[in-house]
Amino acid sequence: MRDCRQFYINGKWVSPSLVDDFAVINPATEEPISTISLGKVADVDKAVAAAKNAFSSYSETAIGERLALLRRIIDTYKARSEEMAQTISKEMGCPISLSRAAQAPAGLAHLLEIVKVLEQYKFEELMGSTLMRREPIGVCGLITPWNWPMNQIVAKVAPALAAGCTVVLKPSELAPLSAHLFAEILDQAEIPAGVFNLVDGDGPTVGAAIAAHPDVDMVSFTGSTRAGITVALDAAPTVKRVTQELGGKSANILLDDIDLETAVRDGVQVCFRNTGQSCNAPTRMLVPRSHMANAVAAAKQAADATKVGDPFADGVHLGPLANQAQFNKVQRLIRVGIEEGATLVAGGPGRPEGIEKGYFVRPTVFADVRNDMTIARDEIFGPVLCMIPYDNEDDAVRIANDTPYGLSGFVTGSDIDRARRVANRIRAGNVHINHARVDFAGCFGGYKQSGNGREWGKAGLEEFLELKAIFGYAGRIK
């Protein structure tokens, strides 16, 4: 990979307006693996100007031209997929097996899906004498996190390009290398100058400048609810569109007709996946009170069997947390769980036995958790499961919905009709029945403090479009 101190602006790799070196840390070793430069307001201004200039022509391109561009990106992405997987594992600690199976392929999946959508999408529809026309919204500022870098970057960039928008991307400064590789992929695919721009930086400087910029027509943000609020406040004076995919505290309701051991094992594994650093992770396991003792035993067995270690070692289930701040946060919240009286079933504070360095944590399970405890309310973003008893189906739904979040939910049950009824009652943007895999043609986004707007598929494309009514388009104008 090339020098990561540069930004990608107007079709070229350019030096920052002011060099401000920032080390990218490998979380498994705590050692630097690269250096970026943190951008300034002047760099954002330059990138936005390039995007604004490019919008006038790119927004008018034919659908066939956009499809051709997206297909070139797909071909280039495929050729560099192993490089992408390796980069993600180095920068944020994901096991290489997961990077190859999910992290890198997620970006490709969004590209393939948006091609399918664009091939069939109707940007114009005549309703009587009125033409309903969908047009690209304009220059889009995209701010993305470190936990699923390609999933979240491409879930924004792909529909923006399909819609005819131009973009300025600020990836997480903690895991920016995959974004730089993606910029190289776009450049190799001959994306027109100014259509895609990348500026590294932190939230208070570059993120705030993008959100507040008067020439940015839309901001799409993924990250914490706290940071999402700040982005919305920065964007408010210019009345631009703001879409947010924020935090979650998803409940996994285990119904009383299940194979308990299998359901608990699966729930633990999905909660811990990506070292628990998924906003939709099922971190609250709701168990029938009469089944709790057996469920706790099964959860302990599953947690104790989870192997933590070097992301590039064979057989590793969990790598480190992605950065030191996240490590400190998870350690603090595990201690809070113990202090508030939850029963520690597995794991606990500190690194796993035999590991002295790196942001590794012990896969942790708490039982006897009340839904008003801190560990049941706050998004921990680590491999920490809270097991909460419930008395009946109505009680389970009440507990599941008793959260400020509403990103995702899970229902596990043998009676599919019953599971569907329960899923319909969960106040969340998406619900998994029996751990069904995500469908990239579906949509992703949340209720309540989990955000606004939707990503993925057709719904994701429409977030980047404005709807215009042209009256009297058909027939004589009176």
- CA dihedral (65, 67, 73, 76) positive or negative: negative
User: What would the 3-class secondary structure string for 314-338 be?
Assistant: CCCCECCCCCHHHHHHHHHHHHHHH
- CA dihedral (300, 306, 307, 308) positive or negative: negative
Surface-to-core class of residue 202, CB atoms within 10 Å of its CB (0-12 exposed, 13-18 middle, 19+ buried): middle
**Per residue in 12-30, is it b (16+ CB within 10 Å) or e — as a string?**
ebbebbeebebebbbbbee
Angle at 217 between CA 455 and CA 115, to 5 degrees: 40
Surface-to-core class of residue 239, CB atoms within 10 Å of its CB (0-12 exposed, 13-18 middle, 19+ buried): exposed
Active site (annotated) includes residue 140: no
**What are the strands, taking DSSP E only, across 278-361?**
284-288, 343-348
Active site residue: 271, 279, 386, 443, which one? 279
Cα separation, 383 vs 365, whole angstroms: 8
Active site residue: 113, 173, 245, 462, which one? 245
First to last CA, the chain: 62
What amino acid occupies position 181?
Answer: L
Cα separation, 70 vs 384, whole angstroms: 39
Q: CB–CB of 440/113 below 8 Å?
A: yes
**Per residue in 312-345, is it b (16+ CB within 10 Å) or e — as a string?**
eeeebbbbbbbbeebbebbbebbeebeeeebeeb
* Catalytic residue positions, numbered: 245, 279
